[in-house]
A and B are shown apart, each in its own frame.
Chain A
């Protein structure tokens, strides 16, 4: 009796798993192996790939444009994650102490729901040098006009600001969800002890939120490293490569210059960086569960 039940389970299980296993094998496993293979070939999508050893990797190490794209990405991540995290933390704390309104939360979520392409276009228009609303505002103050996306100094900070605008609400809601798990009575007793809001934030909210905050930070960091859409719409890596982030570098190598082998090698380098971040994320995921479940 028992043995038959087990055998049934086994047969049913493979049917339950069939679509997912096919999807995984064909679109994750197989391309991963293929990508590794391309990275040691001279594949251009038009030739039959032939093995070139570590040549793509040694060339990458010498390629100043590759290093430049990593540097540009780092600059973007620093600006974007820095501003986004601080703003989201402040916003979440304010909401946590003031309101539980679903309408407010839904409103703050709106920019996150909108495609990055739309957001890129929308801000391209707002930041337009001649007719954009922001330069109009600066004009009334007697300043500008600033070429937000066409000036090499301003382009990357502008893109970072655009994405901070788009993702702060979402990040704040994730942090807010974490804050809701903090016992309310801690704040009540702190208030009786005469602590002000700022002190409560530092002594209660921040330490108890730490695991959630760390997790949200790593997830945003991984997303931020993969900045592409906004750049592809607004600046296309320009002016003079100032916004040519690593994802855009790989994209151009593969689909503009058809250096598929070279692009695959660069993608593996990015994968290694993200892999390290993901391992940290997994660790934190476990940590956050034990702390605040």
Chain B
């Protein structure tokens, strides 16, 4: 009797989970489905789960692979769009920030955890206080500063505020280095290794997990960045995918947006993180246990 009730509640629970999964995935399905629909069918074919006349022309035209006339015939506004380039820009932007920021923050985290120098805790305390400053507050003066340096519409200006550090990563990696057992490092000191040798050959290889965690999280946030690159990198050749999506929407007529093109471009903006999720899903999921509850 009781067992029966338990299985019933379990079945109910699984049903709810299934509904949640469908609710999470369906909008993406609809995005891809719209991207595969010819613009001419928009008014007649908007209810089935699959398009009546599937086509990839929306993808080829937002990737800049068609002529302007072909793009216009397929529903484009006539403005130039080249998402192949924007995707590449975004990938470069993410790689630069994730790579350098993780390395520099690991170096600082290691120094704060292991090296002895005067003023260590004071400097760390000041760095961490930056966690309290909301991004919008430094964003305005940083924009003026990057403009003064004449770095508007350059990749250098876009990555400048984040490539060197983020307070959270320093804090997180210092926490990790503090938890590493000291004996291996001490043995290396006796062998005559200096701080750099220990850091590169011992501390870094031992912290692959946390470094990947920080690197992946940084990639995800950089991929989502919008406001800063919108202000600093609006030009065609430096445009990130997010900024390009916004511009694409503005170019398309208000009364009748180019939804098939927009959804094709949106699909392209999801694809890289989807690949990341497929190959690194386990890591990403585990990284939440790290960053979330600690």
A237 at the interface (CB under 8 A from B): no
In the complex, 8 of the A-B residue pairs with CB atoms within 8 angstroms, ordered by the A residue number, are A9-B115, A16-B111, A17-B107, A20-B164, A117-B224, A173-B285, A233-B245, A260-B144
B27 at the interface (CB under 8 A from A): yes
B274 at the interface (CB under 8 A from A): yes
Distance in Å: Cβ of A33 to nearest Cβ of chain B: 8
One of A54-62, A69-77, A105-113, A141-149 at the interface: A105-113
Give chain A residues whose Cβ lies under 8 Å from the Cβ of B27.
122-123, 126, 165
Give chain A residues whose Cβ lies under 8 Å from the Cβ of B17.
91, 94-95, 98-99, 104
Classify the secondary structure of A's interface with B: helix
Known contacts A9-B115, A267-B137, A31 near B170 by CB under 8 Å: no
B65 at the interface (CB under 8 A from A): no
Q: Is the CB of A45 within 8 A of B144?
A: yes
Shortest Cβ distance from A93 into B: residue: B13
Known contacts A20-B165, A98-B17, A107-B21, A254 near B140 by CB under 8 Å: yes
Give chain B residues whose Cβ lies under 8 Å from the Cβ of A240.
none
Give chain A residues whose Cβ lies under 8 Å from the Cβ of B246.
117, 232-233
**0 or 1 for each of A176-211: is its CB under 8 Å from B? (1 = yes):** 011011000000000000101100000000000000
A235 at the interface (CB under 8 A from B): no
**C-alpha gap A104/B225 in the complex (Å):** 26
Give chain B residues whose Cβ lies under 8 Å from the Cβ of A247.
136
Apart from A23-B104, A35-B141, A110-B274, 15 more pairs, CB < 8 Å: A13-B116, A27-B142, A97-B13, A107-B24, A107-B25, A113-B273, A122-B27, A122-B28, A131-B46, A173-B288, A177-B289, A229-B226, A250-B140, A264-B140, A278-B131
B242 at the interface (CB under 8 A from A): yes
**C-alpha gap A124/B248 in the complex (Å):** 14
Known contacts A95-B17, A111-B24, A121-B266, A133 near B164 by CB under 8 Å: no
B64 at the interface (CB under 8 A from A): no
One of A78-86, A152-160, A269-277 at the interface: A269-277
B127 at the interface (CB under 8 A from A): yes
B135 at the interface (CB under 8 A from A): yes
Distance in Å: Cβ of B201 to nearest Cβ of chain A: 15
Classify the secondary structure of B's interface with A: helix
**C-alpha gap A250/B231 in the complex (Å):** 14
Q: Is the CB of B241 within 8 A of A115?
A: yes
Question: Chain B CB within 10 Å — which of A177, A178, A232 has the most?
Answer: A177
**C-alpha gap A21/B108 in the complex (Å):** 9
Q: Is the CB of A278 within 8 A of B132?
A: yes
Q: Is the CB of A91 within 8 A of B20?
A: yes
Give chain B residues whose Cβ lies under 8 Å from the Cβ of A226.
134-136
User: Which residues in B have some Cβ–Cβ distance to A below 8 Å?
Assistant: 2, 9-10, 13-14, 16-17, 20-21, 23-25, 27-28, 30-31, 34, 42-43, 46-47, 100, 104-105, 107-108, 110-111, 115-118, 120, 123, 126-127, 130-138, 140-142, 144-145, 147, 160-165, 167, 170, 194-196, 199, 220, 223-227, 230-231, 241-242, 245-246, 249, 257, 259, 262-263, 266, 269-270, 273-274, 276-277, 281-282, 284-285, 288-289, 292-294
Q: Is the CB of A169 within 8 A of B24?
A: yes
> What total count of A-B pairs have CB within 8 Å?
281
Q: Is the CB of B133 within 8 A of A131?
A: no
Shortest Cβ distance from B230 into A: residue: A232
Q: Which of A113, A115, A260 contacts B140 (CB 8 A)?
A: A260
Q: Is the CB of B105 within 8 A of A115?
A: no
Q: Which of B196, B231, B245 contacts A255 (CB 8 A)?
A: B231
**C-alpha gap A113/B275 in the complex (Å):** 11
The 5 closest A-B pairs by CB, nearest first: A23-B164, A31-B141, A106-B281, A16-B111, A174-B292
Q: Is the CB of B259 within 8 A of A271?
A: no
Give chain A residues whose Cβ lies under 8 Å from the Cβ of B130.
24, 28
Shortest Cβ distance from B23 into A: residue: A165
**C-alpha gap A38/B242 in the complex (Å):** 29
Give chain A residues whose Cβ lies under 8 Å from the Cβ of B137.
31-32, 35, 264, 267-268, 270-271
Give chain B residues whose Cβ lies under 8 Å from the Cβ of A197.
9
Give chain B residues whose Cβ lies under 8 Å from the Cβ of A255.
231
Q: Is the CB of A102 within 8 A of B226?
A: no
Shortest Cβ distance from B42 into A: residue: A131
Give chain B residues whose Cβ lies under 8 Å from the Cβ of A21.
108, 123
**C-alpha gap A292/B292 in the complex (Å):** 13
Shortest Cβ distance from A139 into B: residue: B47
Q: Is the CB of A216 within 8 A of B292?
A: yes
Give chain B residues whose Cβ lies under 8 Å from the Cβ of A24.
126-127, 130, 164-165, 167
Give chain B residues whose Cβ lies under 8 Å from the Cβ of A222.
134
Q: Is the CB of A136 within 8 A of B47?
A: yes
Q: Is the CB of A34 within 8 A of B34?
A: no
| CB under 8 Å from chain B, chain A span 235-276 | 247, 250-251, 254-255, 260, 263-264, 267-268, 270-271, 274-275
